[in-house]
C-alpha cells in the first residue's frame, strides 16, 4: 500500500480496497518506525489524523468525498498549522503553537487531505542539506550517511522513504527541487504568486514559493489543483485562472522545443549527473521533442545575487522574532537590550545568524546601492535572459544539482561550497519561474534530478512534459532499498 | 536661557513633519478596527501582532484619503509609489520594521498658503506626503518594573506630511500647522484630535545669521501634540540654539524631546546614535499604482476647500478677509454661519444680514461654545434659532444690547427669541411720542446737568442717554433716542 502514488491511493480508497483509517494508521506506524534513522518529521499529529481519517471514511461511504478526501500528507514545518506546533526548524519556535492555518494548509484540509505531521527542515529554510535544523539532520533514504538536501529535506526524504505519498515544501533558492533531486522524487516549485504565501513563515519574501514533493508529476498536478489560486490575504499572489493541471498531462510531446541550458553543463557538473541528464534529454528526443542549445549569460551571477537579496529580506523578516510576543525568550532579561540579544542569540542557529548579519550589512547605509540595488539589477538581467529564451523554446532543461547527495558534515564547515549546490536552481527563483525536478537516473548509486523550467504560469506544460517522461521511464518508481519493506 | 541680545541678528528656519491619522475604519494593512480607547490589544489581530507567516494587505481607503490630501494641496499624485520597510527594533514595533514609503511617496510637491499677522499671505511648500503605519504604545504605569505593550494603535494608517523649511518663526509654524489641521478636517480624512494623538508633529528647527544662504545645523523636536506646545517648543529651541552659538558653541544634529512640564527640549539621541533604518522596498506589497481615472474620481469628491470658501465669503457676503478666515476655520462653523445668514431673511442674505450673522456666530455664539468647551457641531442653539434672534435685531424689534440679554436667555433656557421678547416685554420702543415723554421727564429731573450741558459739557450727552434708557428699561430705539435727545437738549 505504501509504495502507491497519490493517484493510485485515491483509486484504492474509492474502490474500497482499503480505508483511510487503515492507510493513515499504516503510514503513522511507518513514520514512527523511521524516525530514529531518517528524522524526517518534527511533529506527528496522530490523534487528529486518525479522527480525520475516520471522518473521511464516512464521507467516502456516503459518496460525498472530494477527489483528495482521506489521502494523507505531511506539511513542511514552515507552514503554520492551527493548534499544532510550528517550529520552522528553529529553537526560536521550538514551542510555538500557531493560532491559525496557512492558506495552503487550509486549502488542502478543505480538499479532504489528512495531515500526518510536520516535516523537518533547515532552520528558517536556510540550508541545502537539512543540517541547520535545530531538530537534527535528516538522512538520505538512499544512503543514511548522505544528506537529503534542503531546505525541504524532511519532505523529500519522507516521500522517498514512502512515509507518505506527498508533502508540501517551499522553495526560495532550490529548497524543493534540490532535495527532490537528491532523494529521487518529484519536486514542483510553481510560479511566484501561483500559491499563497499567507501562513508560510517568510525567509525571503520576493523568492519564497510553496510547492509540493511527490512521487510523480501526476500527483503534483493533483495537489497543485488544490493548492493554487489567488489569496486576498497575500498581495503578491496572482489572480490568474487555475486550470485543471491533470487535464493536459496526456498531451503528446511531438514538436516540443526544449532549450538545453549551456551554462548548466559547466566544469562543476559531476560526470555521472551529466550523463544521466544527457540520457534523459535523449529520451525526450525519442518522445518527439527537439533539443536547442540556449545561453543564459547572466545566470552564473545568480548565486552571488541570491546571497545578497535573500539575506537582505531575511534580516528584516526575522526581526519579529524578538522574544516579546512569541517564540523563544531568554531567562530573566535584565533590560530590553538583554532581552533582544539573548533571546535572538539563543533562539537562532549559526547559519541563520550568518544570513541576518549578511543581510543587515548589504542593506546598511553606504552599502545599499553597491549590494542590494545592484543585485536587483542583476536579477532583472537574469529574468530577461529567461524571457528571451522562452521566445524560442517551450521549456528549459538541465541538471537540478551539480552533484548527487553529499556526505553528512561534508560541507558544513564551508558555507560557500554549500551555497554552490544551489547554482542551477536559484535562477528560476530570481525570475519567478515555475520549475520541476524529476528523477532521471543514478550516479554512484544516488539519485539524479532532471530540472525542467517553464515560462510564467506554465505549470500545466511542465507537468505534462514531466509526466510523459515518467510514462516512458521508471526512475520515479524506484524505492530506496532500505525502505522497500 | 537668559538674554537674547542678538536675537535680531538671527533668522529662524523651521520645517514641519506632520503625522495625521487617517480616519479609516480599519487599519492600513489589516482588518482590525482603529477606534480609539479600546482596552489594550483588543484591536490587534495576528497581522498587527506581526505573527510568523502573516502578510499585509493595503487598505484602499487609506490610499484614497492620501490622494485627497495631495489634490487639496495641488500636489502631483505619483502614478507609481512604493512601500518600504523601515527597520528598527522596539517592543511596540511588532514586526521589527515599520511599513512606510521612502524613495517613492504617493504625494509629491504641493503647497499651502498661510496668513501672517500683517495680513500678508505666505506660501509654504510641501515636499511630499506619504502613507505609513503607526506603531503601538509602551505602557509603564502600574506594572512595576515591567513594560506593557498595547498594539491597538499598531498599523493605524498615517499620512506624514513633510514641509519645506519655509517657516521663519514659531508663529508661522503654528499658522501652517493650523492650516493643515483645518484642511484635513475639511477633507474628512482625519479627526484632528491632538490629545488622542490623531494629529501630531515633529519640528526641524535651525537658526542662521540673517542674510546667510546656507542652513544652520538643525535639531528635530519629536512628537509635539498641541498648537501651544509647538510654539513654546520652537521658541525655546530657537533661544537655546542662539545662546549656544553666541557663546561660541555649536548646534549638534540630534533628535530632541519637548517636555511640556518643564517647558524645555532635551536631547534624545544624536546623529551618531541614530538608527540606520536599512530602508528597502517591502517585498510583501506590490508597488501602489494609481491611474488618472482614480485621481479624477477623488478630485470630484473634494469639498470646497477652506481658502476657496473664505474667498467666496468675502466676495458674496462682503465679509472682511479676517472674518472670512475665522468663519471658515472649520467646515461646521462655515456651514453654521451660512445657514444662519440665509435664515435671517429666508432669502439670499444681504451684506448687512451676513455681517450680522458673522458677528454673532464668531462673537456671542463662539464665546458661549468656548465657555462650555463645545464644538460648533455640538451647539444646542441651532442656526435657525440664532437667525430668529438676528431677525429681531434687523427689524428693530430689539436693540443689539437687549439682544445680548435675549441670547443669554436662549442659551440658558433653549427658548426661541420671539417667545423671550414677548414674555419679558423686551420689544423696543419706537413710538416717538413715548420716547419724547421719557426724555422730557429726564430733562425735567436734571436741571443742573442740563445747565452744564448747555454750558458746553458735551460729555453729559451720555448721561442723558443712560437716564432715558433706564427709564425705558433699555427698550428705547437707540437711533431714535439719539436724534430726539439731541433736539430736545438743544432746546
Query: What does the alpha-carbon distance between residue B445 and residue B385 come to, in Å, rounded to a whole number?
Result: 42
Under an 8 A CB cutoff, do A236 and B286 touch? yes
Q: Which of A98, A365, A372 has its CB closest to that of B276?
A: A365
List the one residue out of B372, B317, B306, B311 whose CA is nearest residue B339.
B317
Query: What does the alpha-carbon distance between residue A306 and residue B432 come to, in Å, rounded to a whole number?
Result: 99
Q: Which residues contact A456 (CB under 8 A, 6 or more apart)?
A: A191, A432, A433, A434
Q: Which of A235, A318, A320 has its CB closest to that of B55?
A: A235
Q: Which segments within A318-458 are labelled E, that is strand? A: 395-399, 435-443, 446-454
DSSP B118: T
Cell reading at A303? 548565486
The chain-wide mean pLDDT, for chain B, equals 92
Under an 8 A CB cutoff, do A198 and B91 touch? no
Q: How far is B95 from chain A (nearest CA, A)?
A: 4
Query: What does the alpha-carbon distance between residue A445 and residue A422 come to, in Å, rounded to a whole number?
Result: 21
Interface test with A, best of B28, B47, B53 (most A CBs within 10 A): B53
| Backbone φ, ψ for residue A178 (5° rounding) | -65, -50
For chain A, say whether B57 makes contact (Cβ under 8 Å).
yes
Interface test with B, best of A320, A341, A345, A358 (most B CBs within 10 A): A320
Q: What is the ipTM of this complex?
A: 0.96
Query: What does the alpha-carbon distance between residue A483 and residue A140 come to, in Å, rounded to a whole number?
Result: 11
Under an 8 A CB cutoff, do B52 and A320 touch? yes
Mean pLDDT of B376-404: 91
Q: Tell me the residue length of chain B.
A: 491
Residue B7: pLDDT band (50, 70, 90) is low
Mean pLDDT of A396-412: 96
pLDDT tens-digit series, residues B416-445: 999 999 888 888 888 888 899 999 999 999
Residue B143: pLDDT band (50, 70, 90) is confident
Residue A420: pLDDT band (50, 70, 90) is confident
Mean pLDDT of B86-107: 97
Q: Is B393 helix (H, G, I), strand (E, B) or coil?
A: helix
Q: Answer whether B343's CB lies under 8 Å from B381's CB.
A: no
Cell reading at B125? 511648500
Q: Answer whether B392's CB lies under 8 Å from B360's CB.
A: no
Q: Find chain A residues with C-beta within 8 A of B45's C-beta.
A: none
Q: Answer whether A95's CB lies under 8 Å from A384's CB.
A: no
DSSP B282: -
Percent of chain B beyond pLDDT 90? 75
| pLDDT at residue number B144 | 84
Beta bridge partners of B150: B137
A→B contacts (Cβ < 8 Å), by residue, are 79-80, 86, 88, 93, 96, 98-100, 102, 197-202, 204-206, 232-236, 312-313, 315-316, 318-322, 324-327, 336, 340, 360, 363-365, 368, 372
Residue of B nearest to A205 (CA): B283
List the one residue out of B82, B30, B22, B68 whose CA is nearest residue B294.
B68
Under an 8 A CB cutoff, do A320 and B53 touch? no
Residue B475: pLDDT band (50, 70, 90) is confident
Q: Find chain A residues with C-beta within 8 A of B278's C-beta.
A: 315-316, 360, 363-365, 368
Q: How far is B53 from chain A (nearest CA, A)?
A: 4
Does pLDDT of B3 surpass 60? no
Q: How far is CA B339 from CA A319, B332, B365, B383, B397, in A?
A: 56, 10, 14, 6, 22
Does pLDDT of B2 surpass 80? no
Q: Which of B52, B54, B278 has its CB closest to that of A360?
A: B278
Count the Cβ atoms, other than its own, within 10 Å of residue A3: 13
Does pLDDT of B491 surpass 60? yes
Under an 8 A CB cutoff, do B51 and A99 touch? yes
| Backbone φ, ψ for residue B44 (5° rounding) | -130, 115
**Could you tell me how many CB contacts below 8 A there are between chain A and chain B?**
103
Q: How far is CA A106 from CA A51, A57, B40, B417, in A?
A: 17, 20, 30, 68
Under an 8 A CB cutoff, do B91 and A336 touch? yes
Q: Find chain A residues with C-beta within 8 A of B58's C-beta.
A: 235
DSSP B120: -
Under an 8 A CB cutoff, do A99 and B46 touch? yes
| pLDDT at residue number B4 | 47
Q: Which residues contact B247 (CB under 8 A, 6 or more apart)?
A: none
Under an 8 A CB cutoff, do B51 and A326 touch? yes
Mean pLDDT of B378-401: 91
Q: Find chain B residues with C-beta within 8 A of A97's C-beta.
A: none
Percent of chain A beyond pLDDT 70? 100
Does pLDDT of A389 surpass 50? yes
Q: Answer whether A218's CB lies under 8 Å from B76's CB.
A: no
Does pLDDT of B1 surpass 60? no
What residues of A are annotated to the active site?
A: 76, 151, 175
Mean pLDDT of B32-52: 94
| Backbone φ, ψ for residue A200 (5° rounding) | -100, 120
Q: Answer whether B80's CB lies under 8 Å from B101's CB.
A: no
Q: Find chain B residues with C-beta within 8 A of A121's C-beta.
A: none
| Strand order across the B83-87 sheet | B97-101, B83-87, B280-281
Q: Which of A201, A360, A372 has its CB closest to that of B53?
A: A201
Mean pLDDT of A196-208: 98
Cell reading at B350? 444681504
Mean pLDDT of A368-393: 97
pLDDT tens-digit series, residues B205-238: 999 999 999 999 999 999 888 999 999 999 999 9
| pLDDT at residue number B161 | 98
Does pLDDT of A188 surpass 50? yes
Does pLDDT of A432 surpass 60? yes
The whole-model pTM stands at: 0.91
Q: Answer whether B131's CB lies under 8 Å from B66's CB.
A: yes
Mean pLDDT of B284-291: 98
Supply angle C-alpha A426, A86, A74, rounded to 5.
70
Q: Answer whether B160's CB lies under 8 Å from B190's CB.
A: no
CA dihedral A234, A237, A239, A245 (to 10 degrees): -130
Q: Find chain A residues with C-beta within 8 A of B286's C-beta.
A: 235-236
Q: Which residues contact B436 (CB under 8 A, 6 or more apart)?
A: B484, B488
For chain A, say whether B31 makes contact (Cβ under 8 Å).
no
pLDDT tens-digit series, residues A138-163: 999 999 999 999 999 999 999 999 99
Interface test with A, best of B41, B48, B55 (most A CBs within 10 A): B55
List the one residue out of A388, B452, B327 whose CA is nearest residue B462.
B452
Cell reading at B303? 469639498
Mean pLDDT of A60-83: 97
Percent of chain B beyond pLDDT 70? 98
Cell reading at A184? 529521487
Pick the residue with more confidence: A199 or B36? A199
Beta bridge partners of B115: B121
Supply angle C-alpha B73, B130, B266, rounded to 5.
100
Q: Is B106 helix (H, G, I), strand (E, B) or coil?
A: coil
| Backbone φ, ψ for residue B258 (5° rounding) | -90, 130
Q: Find chain B residues with C-beta within 8 A of A93's C-beta.
A: 52
Q: Measured in Å, how far apart are chain B's first and last C-alpha atoms?
A: 67
Query: What does the alpha-carbon distance between residue B229 and residue B181 come to, in Å, rounded to a whole number?
Result: 15
Under an 8 A CB cutoff, do A315 and B46 touch? no
List the one residue out of A465, A314, A467, A326 whose CA is nearest residue A394.
A465
**Phi/psi zone of residue A73: left (φ > 0), alpha (ψ -120 to 50 degrees), beta?**
beta
Burial class (CB in 10 A: 0-12, 13-18, 19+), A474: exposed
Under an 8 A CB cutoff, do B278 and A100 touch? no
DSSP letters, A196-214, are --TTBPPSSTTT-EEEEEE
Q: How far is CA B187 from CA B65, B270, B290, B312, in A?
A: 8, 37, 20, 18
Percent of chain A beyond pLDDT 90? 97
Q: What's CA A386's distance to the chain center, in Å?
A: 21
Owner of C-alpha cell 542590494: A372
CA dihedral A53, A56, A62, A68 (to 10 degrees): -140
* Beta strands A186-189 and A114-119, pairing class: unpaired
| pLDDT at residue number B395 | 86
Could you give the count of Cα atoms lying within 13 Å of B204 in the half-sphere of its Cβ? 14
Interface test with B, best of A317, A357, A364, A380 (most B CBs within 10 A): A317
Long-range contacts of A83-88 (CB under 8 A, 24+ apart): A84/A43, A84/A45, A84/A48, A84/A115, A84/A118, A85/A42, A85/A43, A85/A118, A86/A118, A86/A201, A86/B52, A87/A42, A87/A43, A87/A118, A87/A134, A87/A135, A88/A121, A88/A123, A88/A124, A88/A125, A88/A201, A88/B52
Q: Answer whether A199's CB lies under 8 Å from A79's CB.
A: yes
Amino acid at each position: 500500500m505504501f509504495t502507491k502514488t497519490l493517484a493510485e491511493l485515491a483509486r484504492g480508497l474509492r474502490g474500497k480496497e482499503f480505508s483511510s483509517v487503515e492507510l493513515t494508521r499504516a503510514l503513522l506506524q511507518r513514520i514512527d518506525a523511521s524516525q530514529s534513522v531518517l528524522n524526517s518529521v518534527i511533529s506527528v499529529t496522530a490523534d487528529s489524523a486518525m479522527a480525520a481519517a475516520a471522518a473521511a471514511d464516512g464521507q467516502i461511504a456516503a459518496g460525498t468525498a472530494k477527489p483528495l478526501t482521506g489521502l494523507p500528507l505531511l506539511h513542511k514545518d514552515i507552514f503554520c498549522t492551527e493548534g499544532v506546533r510550528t517550529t520552522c526548524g528553529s529553537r526560536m519556535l521550538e514551542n510555538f503553537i500557531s493560532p491559525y492555518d496557512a492558506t495552503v494548509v487550509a486549502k488542502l484540509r478543505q480538499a479532504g487531505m489528512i495531515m500526518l505531521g510536520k516535516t523537518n527542515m533547515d532552520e528558517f529554510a536556510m540550508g541545502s542539506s537539512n543540517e541547520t535544523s535545530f531538530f537534527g539532520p535528516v538522512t538520505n533514504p538512499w544512503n543514511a550517511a548522505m544528506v537529503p538536501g534542503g531546505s525541504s529535506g524532511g519532505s523529500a526524504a519522507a516521500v522517498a522513504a514512502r512515509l507518505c505519498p506527498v508533502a508540501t515544501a517551499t522553495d526560495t533558492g532550490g529548497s524543493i527541487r534540490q532535495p527532490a533531486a537528491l532523494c529521487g522524487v518529484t519536486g514542483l516549485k510553481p510560479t511566484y504568486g501561483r500559491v499563497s504565501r499567507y501562513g508560510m513563515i517568510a525567509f525571503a519574501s520576493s523568492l519564497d514559493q510553496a510547492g509540493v514533493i511527490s512521487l510523480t508529476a501526476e500527483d503534483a498536478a493533483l495537489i497543485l489543483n488544490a493548492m493554487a489560486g489567488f489569496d486576498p490575504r497575500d498581495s503578491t499572489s496572482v489572480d490568474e485562472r487555475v486550470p485543471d493541471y491533470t487535464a493536459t498531462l496526456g498531451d503528446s510531446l511531438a514538436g516540443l522545443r526544449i532549450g538545453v541550458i549551456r551554462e548548466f553543463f559547466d566544469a562543476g557538473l559531476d560526470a555521472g549527473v551529466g550523463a544521466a541528464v544527457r540520457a534523459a534529454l535523449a529520451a525526450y528526443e525519442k518522445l518527439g521533442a527537439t533539443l536547442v542549445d540556449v545561453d543564459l549569460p547572466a545566470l552564473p551571477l545568480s548565486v552571488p545575487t541570491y546571497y545578497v537579496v535573500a539575506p537582505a529580506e531575511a534580516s528584516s523578516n526575522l526581526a519579529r522574532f524578538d522574544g516579546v510576543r512569541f517564540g523563544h525568550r531568554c531567562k530573566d532579561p535584565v533590560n530590553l537590550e538583554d532581552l533582544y540579544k539573548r533571546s535572538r542569540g539563543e533562539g537562532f542557529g549559526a547559519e541563520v545568524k550568518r544570513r541576518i548579519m549578511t543581510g543587515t550589512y548589504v542593506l546598511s547605509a553606504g552599502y545599499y546601492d553597491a549590494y542590494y540595488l545592484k543585485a536587483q539589477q542583476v536579477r532583472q538581467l537574469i529574468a530577461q535572459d529567461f524571457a528571451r529564451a522562452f521566445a524560442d523554446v517551450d521549456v528549459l532543461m538541465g541538471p537540478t544539482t551539480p552533484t548527487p547527495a553529499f556526505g553528512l558534515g561534508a560541507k558544513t564547515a564551508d558555507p560557500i561550497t554549500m551555497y554552490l549546490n544551489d547554482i542551477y536552481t536559484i535562477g528560476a527563483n530570481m525570475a519567478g519561474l515555475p520549475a520541476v525536478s524529476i528523477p532521471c537516473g543514478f550516479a554512484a548509486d544516488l539519485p539524479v534530478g532532471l530540472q525542467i523550467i517553464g515560462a510564467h504560469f506554465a505549470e500545466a506544460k511542465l507537468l505534462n512534459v514531466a509526466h510523459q517522461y515518467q510514462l516512458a521511464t521508471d526512475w520515479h518508481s524506484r524505492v530506496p532499498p532500505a525502505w522497500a519493506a | 536661557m537668559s538674554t537674547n541680545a542678538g536675537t535680531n541678528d538671527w533668522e529662524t528656519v523651521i520645517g514641519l513633519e506632520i503625522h495625521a491619522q487617517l480616519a479609516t475604519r480599519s487599519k492600513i494593512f489589516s482588518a482590525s478596527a482603529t477606534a480609539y480607547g479600546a482596552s489594550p490589544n483588543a484591536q490587534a489581530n495576528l497581522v498587527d501582532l506581526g505573527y510568523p507567516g502573516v502578510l499585509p494587505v493595503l487598505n484602499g481607503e487609506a490610499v484614497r484619503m492620501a490622494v485627497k490630501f495631495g489634490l487639496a494641496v495641488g500636489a502631483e499624485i505619483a502614478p507609481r509609489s512604493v512601500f518600504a520597510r523601515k527597520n528598527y527594533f522596539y517592543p511596540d514595533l511588532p514586526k521589527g520594521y515599520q511599513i512606510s514609503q521612502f524613495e517613492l511617496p504617493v504625494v509629491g510637491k504641493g503647497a499651502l498658503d498661510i496668513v501672517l499677522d500683517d495680513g500678508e499671505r505666505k506660501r509654504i511648500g510641501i515636499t511630499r506626503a506619504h502613507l505609513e503605519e503607526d506603531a503601538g504604545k509602551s505602557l509603564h504605569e502600574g506594572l512595576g518594573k515591567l513594560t506593557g505593550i498595547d498594539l491597538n494603535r499598531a498599523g493605524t494608517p498615517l499620512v506624514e506630511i513633510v514641509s519645506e523649511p519655509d517657516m521663519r518663526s514659531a508663529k508661522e509654524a503654528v499658522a501652517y500647522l493650523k492650516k493643515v489641521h483645518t484642511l484635513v478636517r475639511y477633507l474628512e480624512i482625519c479627526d484632528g484630535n491632538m490629545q488622542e494623538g490623531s494629529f501630531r508633529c515633529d519640528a526641524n528647527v535651525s537658526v542662521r545669521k540673517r542674510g546667510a544662504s546656507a542652513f544652520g545645523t538643525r535639531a528635530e523636536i519629536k512628537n509635539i501634540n498641541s498648537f501651544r506646545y509647538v510654539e513654546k517648543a520652537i521658541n525655546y529651541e530657537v533661544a537655546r540654539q542662539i545662546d549656544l552659538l553666541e557663546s561660541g558653541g555649536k548646534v549638534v544634529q540630534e533628535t530632541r524631546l519637548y517636555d511640556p512640564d518643564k517647558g524645555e527640549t532635551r536631547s534624545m539621541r544624536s546623529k551618531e546614535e541614530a538608527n540606520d533604518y536599512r530602508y528597502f522596498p517591502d517585498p510583501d506589497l506590490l508597488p501602489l499604482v494609481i491611474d488618472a481615472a482614480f485621481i479624477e474620481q477623488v478630485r470630484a469628491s473634494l469639498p470646497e476647500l477652506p481658502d476657496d470658501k473664505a474667498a467666496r465669503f468675502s466676495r458674496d457676503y462682503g465679509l472682511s478677509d479676517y472674518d472670512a478666515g475665522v468663519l471658515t476655520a472649520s467646515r461646521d462653523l462655515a456651514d453654521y454661519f451660512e445657514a444662519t445668514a440665509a435664515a435671517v431673511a429666508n432669502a439670499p442674505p444681504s451684506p448687512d444680514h451676513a455681517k450680522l450673522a458673522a458677528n454673532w456666530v464668531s462673537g456671542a455664539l463662539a464665546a458661549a461654545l468656548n465657555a462650555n468647551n463645545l464644538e460648533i457641531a455640538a451647539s444646542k442653539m441651532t442656526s435657525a434659532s440664532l437667525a430668529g434672534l438676528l431677525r429681531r435685531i434687523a427689524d428693530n424689534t430689539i436693540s443689539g444690547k437687549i439682544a445680548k440679554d435675549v441670547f443669554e436667555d436662549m442659551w440658558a433656557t433653549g427658548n426661541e427669541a420671539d417667545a423671550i421678547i414677548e414674555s419679558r416685554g423686551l420689544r423696543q420702543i419706537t413710538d416717538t411720542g413715548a420716547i419724547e415723554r421719557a426724555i422730557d421727564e429726564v430733562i425735567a429731573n436734571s436741571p443742573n446737568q442740563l445747565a452744564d450741558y448747555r454750558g458746553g459739557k458735551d460729555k453729559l450727552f451720555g448721561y442723558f442717554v443712560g437716564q432715558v434708557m433706564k427709564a425705558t428699561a433699555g427698550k428705547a430705539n437707540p437711533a431714535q433716542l439719539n436724534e430726539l435727545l439731541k433736539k430736545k437738549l438743544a432746546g
